[in-house]
Structure 1
Amino acid sequence: MANRLTYTINDINVILGYSGRLPAPGNVVRHIVIDSRRLYFPDTSIFFALHSRQNDGHDFIPILYEKGVRNFVVSREIPANLYPSANFVIVPHVLAALQQLAAHHRHHFRYPVVGITGSNGKTIVKEWLFQLLNISYNIVRSPKSYNSQVGVPLSVWQMDAVHSLGIFEAGISLPGEMKLLQPVIDPSIGIFTFAGSAHNEGFENEIQKIKEKLLLFTSCKQLVYCADEKLLDEEVKNFAANHTIKLCSWGKGSHALMQVEMMERSRDRTRVNVNYHGKTAIWEIPFTDEASIHNSLTCCATMLLLGISIDAISDRLQQLKPVEMRLELKQGNHNCAVINDSYSADIHSLNIALDFLDQQQQHEKKTLVLSDLQETGEEAEKLYASIAAILQTRNLHRFVGIGPDLVAHQDLFSFIPHTSFHESTEELLIQLQRTPFKDETILLKGARAFRFEKIGRMLEQKQHQTFLEIDLNALRHNLRAYRNLLKDQVKVMAMVKAFSYGSGSFEIASLLQHAGADYLGVAYADEAVELRKGGIRLPIMVMNTEEAGFDQILKHNLEPELYSFNILRAFRNYLAQHRLTHYPVHIKFDSGMHRLGFESQDLAGLCEELAETREFKVISVFSHLAGSSDPKHDAFTRKQAGSFASAAAAIETAIGYSVVKHIANTAAIHRHPDLQMDMVRLGIGLYGIDENEAMQQQLKNVSTLKTTISQIKKLAAGESVGYSRSAIATEAMTIATVRIGYADGYPRLLSNGRGHMLVNGQLAPVVGRVCMDMLMLDISHIDAAEEDEVLVFGEELPVAQLAGWAQTIPYEILTNISQRVRRVYFED
């Protein structure tokens, strides 16, 4: 048995040490299955019939046997005549058997294994270590947040001889659980991320919880933790005294092995001075919030332990990217926005969620719906007094408390203008039927026991199951990626025209405002008006200025682009009628694009009129490059730049003061850095798309379009699919009807096999014609079920690929996504 790829069912029977009925003992096992809906390789899979409150895995044996599974681990006798060719290993406890098998498998490998536990930050630290170390190691790690009694063995089962480092996280909620997970991970290096008060429920006190978590490190050689947490520091040292463990602590105190001597935050990063074994390091962490800094420093201490040099750590930190978000923002009923955050229920995560709520500017009224925080384990009076103190720093319009503890302590929240308290979620649901929320941004923050998903379903707009996920962390990352290329003092105008390239309106603008964009650019005044109504305060340039929009421009303090004598004179006369002077405007010069703008022959007259008018204050002069992304047009780009520079200089001379000059678009930022001038206009790159391959590698995917399967049909040879019978089955075929069509923005050109979607990770071609509200996929080769999720485009199937099939550009695909497609926003 050289590695897991050569396990047989007989090997597994011997490892578990129990009786089995094995008619085919030589069956090879490579994959563990615990969910009948997630079966991909039936011939080489083994099903563990786990039992939970909701399901008994034994009930799914018939389905799995029919699908081809022949290896099972069960906890009761199964009639042999029903499954004559199936192997059954019979054990007292299926979960214990799963953990036992994974533990055996783990000890077949001798490379370092990092085990991570803590109250918060486990997944982030794991993912960041992967980002920081994957150039040095071939890493196997826990998928997502697989840190439970079931998730840990499934994670460890991934280990193979090709890897050189394992990183696994472990979470517990009750005493005794870590003792079961320790032999499964058996880490050589331990990380205790953060003690905190999260998930205290189930433990007598925080000390017991820390001691239980420390059991993961029983056989560790080295342990990383933050010594600034006094209780954790004390318990770690007591634990280490009874085990042969080298401690690698970090913190601000002089006793820490990695001492943080100075920390200085700027707009989007934090500068940290660290002393390690007498050597000084100066690192820049690309985050400014406390949690990210804490998690980053934990990663740094771990890298030092693994022998990564101080200089290498400095370089790698610049590549650190945010981890996938859990906060999600959705459109709600009655002009509300709903933020759903029920992942964890503690003060630390409440603060994070409140930060996200503060970012939202689309409504003046902010509402928090909060349940009892049962998992903290803290004394109720002290806990809710702390929460009340936090909320006093937030501008809340309404507070809704749910649970007996909050009802008992409601007087603590009397400073909030509107409050209501309910013993249960059901009480609130009844009230909302009579008096619903209206024109508010609502944060739902509830412990899982309170079933806040019921509130979410009531508040969220009822829309069809095609939705566009917008990764706000990715958008923030992309902005930072381009910012890192800019020279000092160069401003950024973020283009949010065309519904932010299909991604949303004020939701995107709110993030850009929070992330420090200097200007926003829109196509038409009505787009800017929506942003102002959504609370956006940044200066906004309106590029396609129309006389019909003058009233709105003044009313909402917008800044028009003036591109012709007609529009310039019309706006000047309008301002004169309103007795306004020095109104901010932007002058567009046509340097060769030949779309909008004053041309060279207009320059003398333009300068004369600008010099004579008091109605305008020219904020910027700009132009638009026609081919900045293509090297074959570089000579023309230089010609445009020279023409623009001359025009801008002439205008500045005429008006007698300097203006902001900008010509660089997304591609020019990195292809023509000398053209960055005073400001750049960042458009499609914000949304994760750049024609330059090297730059594309630095960006994160922002938009993911998904839909679901509504029905699956079996067709016989000769039967047709869709309108005009444009597709005829040449043999037996299985088709899936999915909930998206050309009315949602899916190109009709992708009919009859030109377009594809991902169904359970496999490409499925479009069969027949794309209909208005739906289309059909050929899934004959794919195991799928009705209501399964379908990926239209995203990380695994880039929108650029879809655009290529449709003989168009990603811009068109993104901006054509219908408004009826629900937008869901995520941020960590």
Structure 2
Amino acid sequence: MSVFDHIIKKNSNASRKNRRSWSSRAGQHSRLCLRYASRNEYMQMNNSMNMVNNSVLETDLALLRRNAESIVRAIPAGTKLLPVLKCDAYGLGAAEIARVLEPLEAVAGFAVAHVSEGLALRNAGITKDILVMSSALPWQLSAAVEANLTLACGRAGFASELQAAAEAAGKPAAIHIKIDTGLHRIGFAPEELGGLLEELKNAPSLRVTGTFSHFSDTSDAALCAREYAVYLRALDALRAAGIEPGLRHVACSAASEQYPEYCLDAVRVGRRLFMDAPTAPRGDILEVSTWRSFVTMVHPRRAGEQIGYGGAVTLAHDALIATVGVGYGDGLNPALASAKAPVLIGGKRCTLLACCMDQCLIDVTGTDCRPGDEVVFFGYDRFGNCLPSQEVALLIGGDEGCGLTAALSPRVVRAYSS
């Protein structure tokens, strides 16, 4: 079996059968070939495959599994994983990611942001628990109950609304109570739980299966300790009222890396599954995704010439400029051009100069760059080099590389290797 045995074009209008047909035609486009083929072999391979897409986000599912297993070894024994697959798994493709992770014993279930995301996972065949972390709206509850989604209960009146939906469906509904410890997004402060407790007395169809919170700033250890104390007070209040908190979880990716004492019954890991910590890499998590495109034109320019809209850059020296068929319409942040972000071409770091909607311009001076050459915006090139997404994100003030992957548009084909 090829190490690139599944390439799936994201197309909501295409049937699964059609996606598999497209996949089989591209099955020889292996990660190993991408990394180590000669330039001629690489171009011949793309020609034979009918590569019509300008760029690909490739996710290595074997590395994903490795990262999950590494996290399990690093967190306290008995703590479960709750992979966060919101925003289509940060742009990587939630269904494919969930299918890889669901068989792992350490995975207790999955977390998403919205009901629609939970329904998409159910439609993809995912059967483990799915927690919707945002506050669902009344008209979304019927579908959520029918799909056996677990809903965050974090506002007054929600339990009563969900009870009505569950009663109408003739089946129970599960909730995780959200505690607001300082982020002030959704949730109950401990002193606000009285109203919820009254609602729950009149909600026989609801089952409390978890209680959770989210730290407002994991870089501040003292603040996290204060917020954790608030969470513990809320647990005490629930128990005093005869309600067991169920699955306790407060730690996100960053908290799970920094504070093992807060890992509790489960940790919600999103970014940590896909890339290392942004400012203090631990080395135990590998980049799982690569965004690649191709050079479409190479042209020499003279010192003093301006390139890009509005003369974005005035060249300080004679330069060789590569045009690449990717722009902000694909999700390439124009701020990366202002930051002179690196990209990988021909095994070397080159500089991004200007970004348009559909194309960008890169300084490839000193290389033998040619049309058709691979361009890597983050991830691995065919020479085995890695440009971490975290490094790229930090150039524009982003705190995590998942902000780059989540911004990629549907025009970037998603592909998977194993």
- TM-score bracket relative to the smaller structure: 0.7 to 0.9
* Contact 1:336–1:438 (CA under 8 A) maintained in structure 2: no
Kept after mapping to 2: 8 A contact 1:521/1:542: yes
CA shift at 1:576, angstroms?
3.1
Partner in structure 1 of residue 40 of structure 2: none
Task: State the shift of 1:818 in Å.
Answer: 1.2
8 Å contact kept, 1:333–1:459: no
Query: Counterpart of 1:762 in structure 2: which amino acid?
Result: K
Structure 1: which amino acid aligns with 2:147? H
Residue in 1 that maps onto 2:150: 559
The residue number in structure 2 matching 1:329 is 6
1:782 counterpart residue number: 367
Secondary structure of 2:310's match?
Answer: helix
Report 1:137-148 matches (<5 A).
none
Deviation of 1:667 (Å): 2.3
8 Å contact kept, 1:563–1:597: yes
One-letter amino acid of the counterpart of residue 404, structure 2: I
Question: 2:349 matched to which residue of 1?
Answer: 763
Q: Is the 1:475–1:688 Cα contact (8 Å) retained in structure 2?
A: no
Which residue of structure 1 aligns with residue 78 of structure 2? 489
**1 CA distance for matches of 2:193 and 2:377?**
48
Tell me the distance in 1 between the aligned counterparts of 2:280 and 2:304. 44
Unaligned runs of 5+ residues in structure 1 are 1-119, 121-324, 338-361, 364-436, 449-455
Deviation at 1:637, TM superposition (A): 1.1
Q: Which residue of 1 aligns with 2:259?
A: 672
* Aligned counterpart for 1:610 among listed residues 181, 189, 200: 200
Partner of 1:716: 302
Aligned length: 394
Deviations 1:246-294 (A, max 9, x none): xxxxxxxxxxxxxxxxxxxxxxxxxxxxxxxxxxxxxxxxxxxxxxxxx
**2:67 corresponds to which residue?**
478
Distance, in Å, in 2 between the alignment partners of 1:649 and 1:464 is: 55
Asked if 1:595 corresponds to 2:185, the answer is yes
Which amino acid in 2 is paired with 1:791? V
Are residue 797 (structure 1) and residue 387 (structure 2) matched? yes
Deviations 1:489-532 (A, max 9, x none): 32211101111112112011100113332110000111111111
**1:536: Cα distance to partner?**
1.1
**Do the aligned partners of 1:502 and 1:815 also contact (CA within 8 Å) in 2?**
yes
Which amino acid in 2 is paired with 1:771?
A: C
How big is the alpha-carbon RMSD for the aligned residues of Structure 1 and Structure 2?
3.0
- Give the aligned residue type for 1:733: A
Asked whether the 8 Å contact 2:80–2:108 carries over to 1, the reply is: yes
* Residue in structure 1 matched with residue 161 of structure 2 by the alignment: 570
Q: Matched residue of 1:514: which SS?
A: coil
Please tell me whether the aligned partners of residues 734 and 779 of structure 1 are also in contact (alpha carbons under 8 angstroms): yes
Q: Is the 8 A contact 1:332 1:461 kept in 2?
A: no
Q: Which amino acid aligns with 1:521?
A: A
Paired position in structure 1 for 2:38 = none
**TM-score, L = length of structure 2:** 0.86
Q: d(CA) in 1 for partners of 2:281 and 2:97?
A: 25
Amino acid at match of 2:162: F
Aligned in 2, Cα 1:816/1:444: closer, same or farther, shift over 3 Å?
closer
Match of 2:230 among 620, 640, 643: 643
Deviation at 1:694, TM superposition (A): 5.3
- Structure 1 residues 718, 662: closer, same or farther in 2, change over 3 A? closer
1:353-752 correspondence runs (5 A): 437-438=17-18, 444=24, 463-516=52-105, 517-544=107-134, 545-580=136-171, 582-628=172-218, 630=219, 633-657=220-244, 659-691=246-278, 693=280, 695=282, 697-752=283-338
- Residues in 2 aligned to 1:514 and 1:611: alpha-carbon distance in whole angstroms: 37
**1:23-62 correspondence to structure 2 within 5 Å:** none
Amino acid corresponding to residue 779 of structure 1 in structure 2 = V
- Matched to 1:466, the amino acid is S
- 2:247 and 2:265 in contact (8 A); partners too: yes
1:442 shift after superposition: 8.3
Map of 1:339-354 to 2, 5 A cutoff?
none
For the pair shown, the structure with the greater C-alpha radius of gyration is 1
Closer, same or farther: CA 441–642 of 1 in aligned 2, 3 Å:
farther
The SS at the match of 1:541 is strand
Shift in alpha-carbon separation, 1:557–1:458, aligned structure 2, 3 A: farther
Equivalent pair of 1:707/1:789 in contact (CA under 8 Å): yes
In the superposition, the TM-score normalised over structure 1's length comes to 0.45
Corresponding residue of 2:41: none
Code of the residue aligned with 1:818 in structure 2: it is S
User: Equivalents in 2 of 1:439, 1:804: separation in Å?
Assistant: 35
Displacement, 1:748?
Answer: 0.9
Deviations 1:74-126 (A, max 9, x none): xxxxxxxxxxxxxxxxxxxxxxxxxxxxxxxxxxxxxxxxxxxxxx9xxxxxx
Distance 2:140 2:58 in 1: 32
Identity %: 25
Describe the superposition over 1:128-170 as per-residue Cα deviations: whole angstroms up to 9, x where unpaired.
xxxxxxxxxxxxxxxxxxxxxxxxxxxxxxxxxxxxxxxxxxx
Please tell me whether the aligned partners of residues 331 and 823 of structure 1 are also in contact (alpha carbons under 8 angstroms): yes
Structure 1 residue aligned with 2:35: none
Partner Cα separation in structure 1 for residue 357 and residue 371 of structure 2: 20
Partner of 1:428: none
CA distance in 1, matches of 2:167, 2:320: 69
> Residue 727 of structure 1 contacts residue 752 of structure 1 at CA under 8 Å; is this kept in 2?
no
Matches within 5 A, 1:182-197: none
2:10–2:414 Cα contact (<8 Å) kept: no
Contact 1:502 1:814 in 2 (8 A): yes
The CA distance in 1 between the partners of 2:310 and 2:25, in whole Å, is 51
The code of the aligned residue for 1:675 comes to: Y
**Aligned counterparts of 2:190 and 2:152: Cα–Cα separation in 1:** 17
- Checking the alignment, whether the CA contact within 8 Å between 1:711 and 1:736 is kept in structure 2 is yes
Distance 1:602 1:612, change over 3 A: same
User: C-alpha offsets along residues 328-366 of structure 1, whole Å, 9 cap, x if unaligned?
Assistant: 3112598799xxxxxxxxxxxxxxxxxxxxxxxx95xxx
Q: 1:462 to 1:618 in 2, by over 3 A?
A: farther
Q: Could you say which residue in structure 1 is the equivalent of 2:32? A: none
User: In the alignment, which residue of structure 2 is the partner of 1:419?
Assistant: none
